[in-house]
Chains A and B, each alone.
Chain A
């Protein structure tokens, strides 16, 4: 009898949940957006949420290809190579009914170029933005910039009048002490408008019936309920129990569990993020090794030996449970400049590695510290532990220091590490971005993430020249040449490309966005 009531209750509950989810998508991921201010934080969960509410001029669709959003056409100006022109979409309205025009675009770009904005570096080459009529817009740069459009795909457009009326002209900052209106409210042109938001608890969005793309996109999700669930076991439990329909970041150990559950599926795709090790190859002596008066990592043969000793397949199979793609270059595959040859996985050859080590004079090995984050990448600490064992085979003894990201990344910034793990995503989908931050000599403007002390002035000149090379063929040739040096010098030790796992109800139809940014206007429901 009791069993029967229990069953009945379960059935009723199950029935209710399917009914509720007919057009509502309940979405969960590990982190919450930090703010709704579109220019304050250039950070994954933040832009993912804002993408539903606001739009950039050009957006990347779920495959990563740039497509028109608030701009319908664009191109470099024929008269002046330093100018990019954009034709804006006409008849678009903000959620509050205000009309969208070039005034809003100029305002938003100028806002994004202020010191408190997180997007100012992406616009650092911009000298002026100007309206050209009501639906024309131009960007003037300090030199020709062939890849300007790919810098704009997360640059959201706000309504000028709304910002002025609500005291949100300034980007939210930390000194003012005032609560910026725009950090908690949003008025965009996007497919969904904000209904309510409680940080770390729940954000509700509803469909914007006046959206310009109502007919162009599926627009089958009518309501989005977004809940961050930090604990991974709870997140999976919420999906298994049917309380949410869609979770990003399914932990690798639970993939089979979710996949085997009736009514649930996991879909997978390569992420725009590659994981690798960096080595201090520039200093004359290292502080964290046991070699006196010399830097073993400065010797190319040692770097090559390290590269050969890493068994990437073993890391993929054992540490990542198959959820990674071994890499031969520190560049995700969709990035301009990627080739299969560059990404060929280096051979795992311990004997050859040992031979190189003794040739370099380190036949007896040496010891060094490896710095690793433990809360940033998928199984980051476990990858480093695996590497410790692999490097021991060629005589390199590792003291592993795994720290939370808040402590790990300053080590790179302050050059306090000689051997470290880093992951890198490429929002512009172009090699130049990687070179600027990871290959160029570390300095004020360039190389801010290059903690390898690698420095090649000739290469630096070439990297800087990329920014203004408008002949795309020639530019691609230069990119290939730079990669050839990076690979030959073994500046980094690539490990693998991360894989994204999205878990969802069977009824949700989508593909995985390589930037981990779901755009719900593309989602479909199988009824």
Chain B
């Protein structure tokens, strides 16, 4: 177990370094930040001076090395767009993104699993069929369109929910939350649905097909023959055995929820890191882009690690396999 963890951690580190290298080699193609940073009246000399000052005249491996050097010491540089330390800018905004991701992940899991089980049990019922058809919308419509449709319906036409922003937030010192105020809770509903809809339908369809698979198996038939209650059969025996693939996918999706909150955040002007990243790209704010990409890859890598470790906890066979092969 320990060896496994260490090995995975080492692999993760290599993945991170490669991500950073690729990111820095791409920054040259995003454009030139200097033009955005200096006003319309800048002279050629200003441009040269700032380029040298920022080290943009260096080849990208040198820039990357400098970034790593700083990053190891916890210094991610200064945002070109805001003129403030990147670590401050990101830590200020990460709470908004994590909160949004958390709420939409919970929505996606709760509704996804519940509807998945429901549609599997009532395979031929009309309600299940309607849900299945509707779920196609969730899979096929792009996020920004769903967001705009929701805004149009609930903000413009019905006037129930706000169309943008986070509402009022409460600063807990280490975490700025919107969940404690009414306007904050209202504001999170539409973006959370927008962000979680795709994952929800995905989980639902996955749970459904896994359930159908499991329900066909002999031990379910025997369980029924033993006269167990339906509830016990479905939830204790069937559902539990569908969970391994579901957890894998959900885990991976959790990473994407955070990483791809970019679009949802732009549509709803949600002040999280996704919006920050979009603005960084437009402004060619290299320090923010680099830090964000590193952050996201750290997140993906650690989620993968956790998912792998969860397998151990859930599936005893894996445990046996691993320890067997390890020796």
Residues of A within 8 A of B (CB): 6, 9-10, 13-14, 34-35, 37, 40-43, 115, 118-119, 121-122, 172-177, 179-180, 183-184, 198-202, 227-231, 233-235, 237-238, 240-243, 375, 403-407, 409-410, 413, 425, 437, 443-445, 448-449
Contacts and interface: CB of A to CB of B under 8 A. Distances in A.
A188 to B, nearest CB: 19
B235 to A, nearest CB: 34
B165 A227 contact: yes
B64 to A, nearest CB: 18
Given A174-B53, A177-B75, A231-B266, A121 B42 contact: yes
Q: Which 6 A-B pairs have the closest CB atoms?
A: A406-B31, A121-B41, A201-B271, A42-B39, A407-B31, A410-B32
A245 B250 CA distance: 41
Interface string B78-113: 101111110011001000000000000000000000
B85 to A, nearest CB: 6
B84 A183 contact: yes
A488 B85 CA distance: 51
A176 B39 contact: no
A68 to B, nearest CB: 25
Interface size class of B (residues with CB under 8 A): 35 or more
B84 A179 contact: yes
B85 A200 contact: no
Interface in B1-55: 29-33, 35-45, 47, 49-50, 53-54
A9 to B, nearest CB: 7
B162 A243 contact: yes
Interface in B181-234: none
A198 B32 contact: no
Interface in B128-178: 144, 148, 151-152, 155-156, 158-160, 162-166
Nearest to B152: A237
B81 to A, nearest CB: 6
Nearest to A11: B159
Interface in B263-286: 266-269, 271, 275-276, 278-279, 282-284
A231 B35 contact: no
Contacts of B269: 200-201, 227-231, 234
A430 to B, nearest CB: 14
A184 B269 CA distance: 20
A184 B38 CA distance: 19
A241 B54 CA distance: 44
A311 B319 CA distance: 74
B260 to A, nearest CB: 16
A377 to B, nearest CB: 14
A243 B163 contact: yes
Contacts of A13: 159-160
B158 A6 contact: yes
